[in-house]
Every structure is written in C-alpha cells, then in structure tokens.
Amino acid sequence: MHRRNILIAVTLLGFTLLPADAVAQQKSLKEQLVGAWTLVSMEITEKDGTKRREFGPAPKGVMILDAGGKYARVSGRPGRNHFNAPEKFRQVTPAAEFGEAAREFGANFGTWSVDEADNSLIQRWEGDLIPNVEGWETKASINLASDELKLSYTAPGGTRRTDAVYKR
C-alpha cells in the first residue's frame, strides 16, 4: 500500500512539472482559441499582389472567441481624426465625416467553429460595419504558438487575402 501511495504521489508531481505547452497540447484547438486576443498586425494582399495595411502599421483591436461559439472582432487605426461636431454623436456628424471615420475601423460578430482536421477557424459573419458582407463565411488557416495566433484567410470570391496576428 505504501509503495502505491508513493507511486501516485510521484505521478501527480510529474504532471505538475509538465511544461505549459505540453498541457496546452492536451486541449483541443477550439479550447486553445477560446478567450480574448489583441490584434498585433493585419496585412491585406489584393488579388493583383498589392499589399496594404488598412489600419496602419500598428492597428488596435481585439477578437473575442467564447466557448459557446460566438465571436466579436473590432479593429481600427490608432489616431483617427476626431469629429468636428461639438457633441461628437453620429446623429449630428456630417455623413462624409462619419464615413471617413468608418473607413479606418472594422467590426463584425457572429459564430465560430474549428475544423480540427485542417487546422482552420470558420467564422460566420452575422453582423458587420459593412452590410454587404453580412452572411459571409470565412475559413482561416491557423498557426498557433504559445500566446501568438496567426490567421490567414481569403475573402469569399477570392478577391483578397488577409493575414492577421493576435497575442493573448
């Protein structure tokens, strides 16, 4: 009986000494993605090969993936111009001024799932700042290493590829 207790204690101690990455590998990909991710960079490559950083070289943003399969993502260019209207509300801001601010900001929400077989994130866009893309479904390849998440996806229709990097 005494040997068995020692064996159990040593085994438990061994599990507590495992590196965090080894424990994370035991989780499914979906479980590893759940949480809040801070945007580090985003680059868009157009069909003709032209590259651009829609939200600048150091964008601000967050993507939240909840365990129930819902997500929300917002991103924008830091240092955007402030509205000229004293109240700064969209109801009193001229449409052109509001439109320019919207060009430097992105937001969407919807549902998400993971295809473990091909290591991809599937997002179904239920709502977006741009109404034309509501209903889209994107499939992004995932590269996950420790606290860094790289996503690469092509827009429906193959018009452009977006590469984004997030940190936990």
Q: Where are the domains of the chain?
A: 27-167
Sign of CA dihedral 38, 148, 136, 114: negative
> What does the pLDDT look like over 32-84, one tens digit per residue?
999 999 999 999 999 999 999 989 999 999 999 999 999 999 999 999 988 87
Helices (H), 64-115: 95-103
Kindly report, residue by residue over 111-132, the tens digit of the pLDDT. 999 999 999 999 999 999 989 9
Of residues 96 and 108, which shows the higher confidence score?
A: 108
Is 137 in contact with 158 (CB distance < 8 Å)? no
What are the distances in angstroms from CA 5 to CA 13, 67, 75, 116, 155?
Answer: 12, 37, 54, 38, 57
Those residues whose C-beta lies under 8 Å from the C-beta of residue 88, and which sit 6 or more positions away, are 82
Angstrom distance (rounded) from CA 38 to CA 30 = 17
pTM: 0.79
Query: What is the overall mean pLDDT for the chain?
Result: 86
Token pair, residue 111, equals 């549902």
CA angle 62, 21, 25 (to 5 degrees): 90
What per-residue string of b and e applies to 3-32 under the rule 16 or more CB within 10 Å gives b?
eeeeeeeeeeeeeeeeeeeeeeeeeeebeb
Question: What CATH number does the domain located at 27-167 have?
Answer: 2.40.128.10
